[in-house]
Structure 1
Amino acid sequence: MASVKVKFRPSSVNGKEGSIYYQVIHNRAVRQITADLHVHENEWNTGTSSVMIPTWADVDRKYHLHIIQKHISRDVLRLENIIRNLTLKGVCSADAIVDGYRKQTSLQSFFNFMDSVIGQLKRLNRERTSETYASALSSFMRFRRNKDIQLDDMDEDLAMEYEAWLKTNDASLNTISFYMRILRATYNRAVEKGLTTQKHPFRHVYTGMDKTVKRAISLKDIRRIKELDLTGKPHWELARDMFLFSFYTRGMSFIDMAYLKKSNLKNGILSYRRHKTGQQLHIRWESCMEETVKKYAAGCSGDYLLPILKLPSKKLRSQYKSTLFRINKYLKEIARLCGIAAPLTMYVSRHSWASIAKSKNIPISVISEGMGHDSEETTRIYLASLDGSVIDKANSLILKDL
């Protein structure tokens, strides 16, 4: 019968932590597994082969030692389960036990599992989602100082520590929520695959949506941008015209603009499918849209309607992102020239169309359909951050009567 012993190896350097390892024995064959756990010699009880928590240790050290003992108990239990399963199959050996442990450890690593999720998203051509997952993983790895963690060790305390770390690094509430929701989705996926048990580690951290800063500008500002003389500044002019085209087309997102093809325009109707939701939208072709397309017809590549994806040999996703970066950079300069205080980006055109439509008493249901939202509730959330200026105007009217 195989057995597992927990061992401690003191450091040869005085005052330095020693190493904990597991000794697997089967039919006199002995193998060792490094646990990557370290304690001082006076924190180890040789008689019980367990961590000893000194009474003089401070609170943080006691907590740290408690976590190490928790790791040891979990690892021993895993090894015993592996031995039991291999014995039932009749293939138990010291090497098989060690191999089974290492394979399971790799599979149950949070970093590795999330990396596999990102890889799957890429294979499904969900590039944008894979990038958001990669961003969340990168942030979590910085918090962990690149030290991996097992799925079983994801708990409420760790999630709250990560939240506190994000706050000390000046992350906004929406950024915190963004990362937490992605990590939660990854963890839930691991639970579904049976790699860990559901402990709801994210129940006490912020996963809501904070009210964002108003990103819409007025129709007067839109006119000012349209009438701005940008003679001799072709890059600025392109940025301005792409911003206006988005506004003309009910706040079309930049990624949808980038992939528009001439075949999307038939019989005076521009039809396209949103990259984000897959929803089919139809827009009546107006003269202002036609003027923009004609202006840049010579600079368009192949069947594309707009001059955004111009290098067929280059990766389309990276080309789209670099073009968006440049356009947003020029839009900020255009905002400065027009005396617009709000940071101008392509996304502002979408917000602005929704805000102006609302100010003209267009029903939420119509705005929702026009923007390609999945539901009116999404549109209400979207418009919620745009009400501040209306409230401020109402307050000014009240104060004038004082």
Structure 2
Amino acid sequence: MKATVSVICYKHKVLANGESPLMVRIAKDGKRTMKSLGLSVNPTHWDFAKNQPKGNCPNRNLIKQVILKTEIEYQSKVLNKEIKNEEFTTSSLVEEKQNEIKAQTVEEFYLHLIEELRQKGQIGNSYAYLNSYNTLKNFNKGKKLNYTFSHIDVSFCRKYEDWMRSKGNQDTTLSYQFRTLRATFNKAIEAKIVSRDKNPFNEYKLSHFNTKTMKRALSKEDILKIINTDCSSKSKLRQLAHDLFSFSYLCGGISFVDIANLTLRNIVEGRLIYQRQKTHGNINLLLSDEALKIIQKYNKYCQQAGYLFPILHNQRHITPMQKSNRIHKICHQVNTELRTFATELGITAEVTTYVARHSFATILKKSGVNIGIISEALGHQDIKTTQIYLSRFDNEQVDEAMKNLL
């Protein structure tokens, strides 16, 4: 039996305001399911024979518009089910409608997405989408993004690009912002907030951005200048910055966030074994004597706080948000100190914790180490990040390659 959709005034129920609710009614196979539209009308203003508001009904045009929109939405769902030959009941159709994400505007969808990521503990991702949201809001002159995703077309993208360039942003920043916007648009498509044929990125290609950046790697001479400097008489922050930079370089270019999360469980028989926070790839590297000395320096802190380095504390930083905020704060302090340190040493290149990772890979490459082994040590899931991925290598090959660092 074909399903029928109609909106009725349910006169058998009287609300506190003396009116009766308007409800969508779906009937199929002798069964029916109703759902309130959140609107009500006085039964005296409803023509039950024609099933529509009378001419003297207040807000008659608005009510008729809501009725028409509701009937079209549900009739469209019924038609889609029939075309795909999908089984459904009146209740499943209503529940399907109720379970849809309510966010219809770009504003609502972004805020819903950001909160969802935070609830899942994906703090880094939530910050990326928050940054995208704030940038779009600035482009909108500080106003809320109270427009639908269909408003984001090719013309919008070009204007957005021109605006960001006028603010002095380079292609790398533009590429980052548009990749996040594109990801958000794709999520909106998946949530059936906007149709797939409205996607502007089918025409507006992000490949036109020049994302090639200046080389960030230091020379081996500069790296050794940093590592071999005695900072024992300097401030605690200088010592920490020196130790973290050195440890990262000596341990396969380990990232700051991965260093922050290291505990004694990651040290197994003189090897550093951990899972990357970003890609969840497994890393297994031999710890050099120099790296072990750095770890031993912070033994007392580790016993008190549960982490190898004085970044996180297991009694103070418990939730994903607390950990993320703490790591971001300390990383900023360390990078600021590293820049000052580099200037004092006469190093003109930019020096940050990330530079240690980049330098590790570049120096090994210049030493003739196979790029596949470098990729293995870095923990890249896709060799495209370091070029063509050849094959996986055993620990002995990686260990041998690491001897080229000093």
Query: Could you say which residue in structure 2 is the equivalent of 1:98?
Result: none
Contact 1:190 1:196 in 2 (8 A): yes
Shift of 1:124: 1.9
2:257 corresponds to which of 255, 258, 262: 255
Give the distance between the partners of 1:306 and 1:178, measured in 2 at CA. Answer: 31
Contact 1:105 1:150 in 2 (8 A): no
Query: Could you say which residue in structure 2 is the equivalent of 1:213?
Result: 214
Q: 1:381 to 1:185 in 2, by over 3 A?
A: farther
Pairing of 1:279-294 with structure 2 (within 5 A): 279-294=281-296
Query: Could you say which residue in structure 1 is the equivalent of 2:88?
Result: none
Letter in 1 for 2:70: I
Q: 1:156 to 1:105 in 2, by over 3 A?
A: farther
Which runs of structure 1 show a deviation greater than 4 angstroms over 4 or more consecutive aligned residues?
76-79, 83-89
Query: Could you say which residue in structure 2 is the equivalent of 1:393?
Result: none
Contact 2:276 2:379 in 1 (8 A): yes
Give the distance between the partners of 1:187 and 1:33, measured in 2 at CA. Answer: 33
Letter in 2 for 1:258: A
Give the distance between the partners of 2:76 and 2:359, measured in 1 at CA. Answer: 66
Give the distance between the partners of 2:61 and 2:381, measured in 1 at CA. Answer: 52
Contact 2:154 2:200 in 1 (8 A): yes
Contact 2:305 2:312 in 1 (8 A): no
Shift of 1:205: 5.0
Look up the SS of the partner of 1:163 in the other structure. helix
Query: Could you say which residue in structure 1 is the equivalent of 2:95?
Result: none
**Alpha-carbon deviations, 1:79-120, whole Å to 9, x = none?**
74335458999xxxxxxxxxxxxxx99621011101111112
Shift of 1:296: 1.8
Stretch deviating more after TM superposition (290-299 or 308-317): 308-317
Contact 1:159 1:205 in 2 (8 A): no
Look up the SS of the partner of 1:137 in the other structure. helix
Shift of 1:125: 1.5
Letter in 2 for 1:139: T
Letter in 2 for 1:227: N
**Alpha-carbon deviations, 1:339-395, whole Å to 9, x = none?**
11112110000000011011011111111111011122111399xxxxxxxxxxxxx
Letter in 1 for 2:53: H
Q: 1:196 to 1:125 in 2, by over 3 A?
A: same
Letter in 1 for 2:206: Y
Pairing of 1:295-306 with structure 2 (within 5 A): 295-300=297-302, 301-306=304-309
Query: Could you say which residue in structure 1 is the equivalent of 2:91?
Result: none
Query: Could you say which residue in structure 2 is the equivalent of 1:153?
Result: 151
Shift of 1:279: 0.5
Contact 2:301 2:307 in 1 (8 A): no
Give the distance between the partners of 1:161 and 1:147, measured in 2 at CA. Answer: 18
Aligned: 1:331 with 2:334: no
Give the distance between the partners of 1:285 and 1:151, measured in 2 at CA. Answer: 51
5+ residue gaps in structure 1?
A: 3-23, 35-75, 90-103, 383-402
Query: Could you say which residue in structure 1 is the equivalent of 2:229?
Result: 228
Tell me the number of residue pairs that the alignment of Structure 1 and Structure 2 aligns: 306
Q: 1:29 to 1:135 in 2, by over 3 A?
A: same
Pairing of 1:237-256 with structure 2 (within 5 A): 237-256=239-258
1:312 corresponds to which of 311, 315, 325: 315
Aligned: 1:82 with 2:65: no
Give the distance between the partners of 1:106 and 1:337, measured in 2 at CA. Answer: 56
Query: Could you say which residue in structure 2 is the equivalent of 1:201?
Result: 200
Contact 2:305 2:314 in 1 (8 A): no
Contact 1:262 1:304 in 2 (8 A): yes
Percent identical among aligned pairs is 29
**Alpha-carbon deviations, 1:125-182, whole Å to 9, x = none?**
2111111111111101110122421122221111111111111111111111111111
Contact 1:271 1:283 in 2 (8 A): yes
1:26 corresponds to which of 53, 61, 68: 53
Q: 1:86 to 1:369 in 2, by over 3 A?
A: closer
Query: Could you say which residue in structure 2 is the equivalent of 1:132?
Result: 128
Contact 1:191 1:197 in 2 (8 A): yes
Query: Could you say which residue in structure 1 is the equivalent of 2:268?
Result: 266
Look up the SS of the partner of 1:29 in the other structure. coil
Give the distance between the partners of 1:367 and 1:88, measured in 2 at CA. Answer: 54
Give the distance between the partners of 1:117 and 1:244, measured in 2 at CA. Answer: 38
RMSD, matched Cα: 2.9
Aligned: 1:356 with 2:363: yes
**Alpha-carbon deviations, 1:194-229, whole Å to 9, x = none?**
111122213325355610111110111011112224
Contact 1:328 1:344 in 2 (8 A): yes
Look up the SS of the partner of 2:327 in the other structure. helix
Look up the SS of the partner of 1:281 in the other structure. strand
Query: Could you say which residue in structure 1 is the equivalent of 2:277?
Result: 275
5+ residue gaps in structure 2?
A: 1-5, 8-40, 42-51, 78-99, 390-406
Query: Could you say which residue in structure 2 is the equivalent of 1:49?
Result: none
Letter in 2 for 1:349: A
Look up the SS of the partner of 1:30 in the other structure. coil
Contact 2:114 2:126 in 1 (8 A): yes
Contact 2:312 2:326 in 1 (8 A): yes
Q: 1:288 to 1:155 in 2, by over 3 A?
A: same
Give the distance between the partners of 2:326 and 2:73, measured in 1 at CA. Answer: 51
Shift of 1:289: 1.1
Give the distance between the partners of 1:232 and 1:29, measured in 2 at CA. Answer: 81
Look up the SS of the partner of 2:58 in the other structure. strand
Give the distance between the partners of 1:86 and 1:358, measured in 2 at CA. Answer: 61
Give the distance between the partners of 1:273 and 1:86, measured in 2 at CA. Answer: 47
Letter in 2 for 1:306: F
Query: Could you say which residue in structure 1 is the equivalent of 2:397?
Result: none
Stretch deviating more after TM superposition (373-382 or 149-158): 373-382
